[in-house]
Amino acid sequence: MRLVFAGTPEFAVPSLLAADVASEVVAVYTQPDRPAGRGRMLTPSPVKQAALTRGIAVRQPARLKGREVLDALRALEPDLMIVVAYGLLLPQAVLDIPRFGCWNVHASLLPRWRGAAPIQRAIQAGDSETGVCLMQMEKGLDTGPVLLRQTLPIESDDTGGRLHDRLAALGAQVLADGLGLLRAGIRPVAQPQPHEGVTYAHKLDKAEARLDWAGPARALADTVRAFDPWPVAEAEVAGERLRIHAAQALPLAHGAAPGTVVFAGPQGIDIACGDGALRLLRVQRAGGKVIAAADYLNARRDLRGAASG
């Protein structure tokens, strides 16, 4: 089969490698190079870097529209287009070009968590499981019928970064399974998504990273996990703004006002919440490195042994 692959971030790289092993990837589409780092140098996407390493032609149109772009895609004569976190909408004219249409690898159990940030939203919501769906694309946002799916438990210590890596590997496996069936002449049966249970995983915003101590500790702990490594949760702690990289919810009846430090010691820093307390385990001061909360207390001896209520 002649495959065209469209993807941009690191999440899509394992799927690109799986596709290139299973069949001939005749071209890779990825977003244009973006400024990155302190020097704001134009940087190729992870998918572009992987494609060039494997000698695959790369195309980077700003939009998948216009006669020239569409004619160039048609000239590739693709049997199938695989889309993984590409970041650009595919108009119907593009969906109609490949012989078998377009497949999408999506990191959730559709119809739950359609949209841009399904991995982080699943953790933030306290979900116990997630997974990957291989979907036949249509014009709507992640509304197409599901061809294959695999579930994955969300572990209590999963962060956004760790779950991302696990789902990226699972996505490559599911894609390889689907391509194997297609190569054998078996088209996976497309199952329409149910109308019930639709939720949307809206794009992450740095403004969401600010923790509200009036919320329940369990929800705040889930947000800390979900937002690691980006955008990283932050909060006011005893008069100082800290970024919080790891925390644990405690079922503590404290009687203190939300945001109060109720204990600080080698185990961590316990902050009163609307329900329970949040134990800070790893924090980061402005301009500093990520350190254990116990090490932070070396610079904040005024907090050691703090107790209230």
3-state DSSP of the chain: CEEEEEECCHHHHHHHHHHHHHCEEEEEECCCCEEECCCCEEECCHHHHHHHHCCCCEECCCCCCCHHHHHHHHHCCCCEEEEECCCCCCCHHHHCCCCCCEEEEECCCCCCCEECCHHHHHHHCCCCEEEEEEEECCCCCCCCCEEEEEEEECCCCCCHHHHHHHHHHHHHHHHHHHHHHHHCCCCCCCECCCCCCCCEECCCCHHHHECCCCCEHHHHHHHHHHCCCCCCEEEEECCEEEEEEEEEEECCCCCCCCCCEEEEECCEEEEECCECEEEEEEEECCCCCEEEHHHHHHHCHHHCCCCCC
Ligand-binding annotation for 204, yes or no, is no
Radius of gyration of the chain (CA): 23
Question: Domain 2-201 belongs to what topology?
Answer: Rossmann fold (3.40.50)
Q: What pLDDT does 99 receive?
A: 97
Q: Please say whether the beta carbons of 243 and 223 come within 8 A.
A: no
Measured CA to CA, the distance from residue 256 to residue 274 in angstroms comes to 9
Taking alpha carbons only, the member of 228, 299, 306 closest to residue 267 is 306
Residues ≥6 apart with Cβ < 8 Å to 243: 232, 233, 234, 283, 284, 290
pLDDT for 309? 39
pLDDT score at 36: 83
- Distance CA(183)–CA(307), nearest Å, equals 65
Residue 111 among known ligand-binding residues: yes
The tens place of each residue's pLDDT in the chain, 309 residues long, gives: 999 999 999 999 999 999 999 889 999 999 999 988 778 889 999 999 999 999 999 999 999 999 999 999 999 999 999 999 999 989 999 999 999 999 999 999 999 999 999 999 999 999 999 999 999 999 989 999 999 999 999 999 999 999 999 999 999 999 999 999 999 999 999 999 999 999 999 999 999 999 999 999 999 999 999 999 999 999 999 999 999 999 999 999 898 999 999 999 999 999 999 999 999 999 999 999 999 999 999 988 888 766 543
Domain formed by 206-303, architecture: Roll (3.10)
Domain layout of the chain by residue ranges: 2-201, 206-303
Instruction: For 202, list phi and psi in degrees, rounded to 5.
Output: -65, 150
**CA gap 218, 199 in Å, rounded:** 21
Q: Is 109 annotated as a binding residue?
A: yes
| 110 assigned to a ligand binding site | yes
C-alpha distances out from residue 116 to 26, 65, 83, 182, 240, Å: 27, 21, 14, 28, 32
Q: In the beta sheet, which residues pair with residue 132?
A: 150
Please check whether the two domains, 2-201 and 206-303, share a CATH topology: no
